[in-house]
Amino acid sequence: MVFEKEQQIVAEIKQYITENLPLSKLSDEELQEKVEAITMEKLSGQYISIEQQVSIVEQVYSSIRGFGLLDSIISDDTITEVMINGPQNIFIEQNGRLFKLDKEFESQRRLEDIIQRIVGLAGREVNQANPICDTRLPDGSRVNVVLPPIALCGPTVTIRKFSKTPMTIEKLIQYGSITKEIAEKLQMLVKAKYNIFISGGTGSGKTTFLNALSNYIPKDERVITIEDSAELQIEGIDNLVSLETRNANASGAGQITIRDLIKSSLRMRPERISGGEALDMLQAMNTGHDGSLSTGHANSTEDMLSRLETMVLQGAAGLPLEAIRQQIASAVDIIIHLSRLRDKSRKTMEITEVVGYENGKIILNPLYVFEEDENSTLERVSGTLHRTKNPMKNTFKLQLAGVRSEF
């Protein structure tokens, strides 16, 4: 059965059900049974594979109670990202590669209905007055929505899938992102409460790395996570508070920013703060909250520092650049830079120590640098992180934590 015919049958069954069944009185299980029975009756006498029968039932049910076409995409664990550019253009990332799906939404109205359902579940709003929204699905997947007239090609949705199994350092070692030796060094830094920034471009795996690193936080500490849309998966910590921002409503009231949350979190006796925007995380780090973990968009370690300067300037115009650089140098201890390389693999490119401020510059001390080896080709990257000859300078926190080994 061709796709157009399948969609026609789905539309006919859905129309029959919405016109003839008391949907508000049916439970999810009852509706599923009714959809199956009506579909079997509709398809009797036609040759159709079991897979297509199941697909039709799923599409009809999810178009009434779920997220329609999105349900089958979201349930596929091999898909890591979904990009919807209007009702006709759906792209997915699978195994690091982008594909266009040969499926589409019935109409723009149907896509808009699904968007409102997704946004409503998280208590958010998106409309012409507020056409941009960051939210999440019930499973934790991150969702960004942009509506017309801002999005010229129609409602645009980007979904970053939420992994069902939290990332661990062991998995990062298995994937070749870091080595066992480096993992042990990072564990020392986290336990000794170094303030760590994880930088990288889009899709480089910053949140994934932060999730893995958070497994090293001692289980008896109080941890507060602060995010635009909650996606951190911190496991095994009982004293955990997760905070999430809120957009303004249609009348412009009720906005809760990352800055508001950080101010509040400082009164909640945190031992560590994770997530957050750069400027506000710097302020938290400078108020004595060591052991903070944060992420930031940047193309290199130096670029991360430049962006931090820019963010501080935007939030505190009139502050002298010298004061800003001193604040950054005293707040950030370690920058871990990640990158997505030409073969789509994600690698840790650099682990650098921020050692202070001198003659108008922030001084960096690279400890590990990624170097390609002779097995690298244009299609495949091969290499590893190598320890530089630079000794680690800021060992005070390691000494305080009673760590004797060299970094």
**pLDDT in the model for residue 251:** 66
> Angle at Cα 274 formed by Cα 269 and Cα 275, nearest 5°?
135
> What are the φ/ψ torsions at residue 305 (nearest 5 degrees)?
-65, -40
**pLDDT in the model for residue 198:** 92
Per-residue buried b or exposed e for 73-108, using 16+ beta carbons within 10 Å of the residue's own CB: bbeeeebbbbbbbbbeebebbeeeeeeeeeebbbee
Q: Which residue has the tokens 């930031």?
A: 296
DSSP characters for 175-244? TTSS-HHHHHHHHHHHHTT--EEEEE-TTS-HHHHHHHHHTTS-TTS-EEEEESS------S-SSEEEEE
CA distance 234 to 309: 29
CA distance 194 to 334: 7
pLDDT per residue, tens digit, the chain (407 aa), is: 677 788 888 888 888 888 888 877 777 788 888 889 999 888 888 888 888 888 888 888 877 777 877 877 888 888 989 999 999 999 999 877 889 998 888 789 889 988 988 888 877 888 888 899 888 888 878 899 999 999 999 999 999 887 777 778 888 888 888 889 999 999 999 999 999 999 998 878 888 888 888 888 888 888 888 877 666 777 778 898 888 777 776 666 777 877 788 778 777 877 777 775 555 667 667 666 688 888 888 999 999 999 888 877 776 667 788 888 888 898 899 999 999 888 878 889 999 999 999 988 999 999 999 988 888 888 888 888 899 999 999 988 888 888 776 77
Which residue from 10, 5, 18 is spatially nearest to 39, judged by alpha carbons? Answer: 10
Tokens of 331: 């707040």
* pTM score above 0.75: no
Which residue from 142, 141, 135, 138 is spatially nearest to 119, judged by alpha carbons? Answer: 135
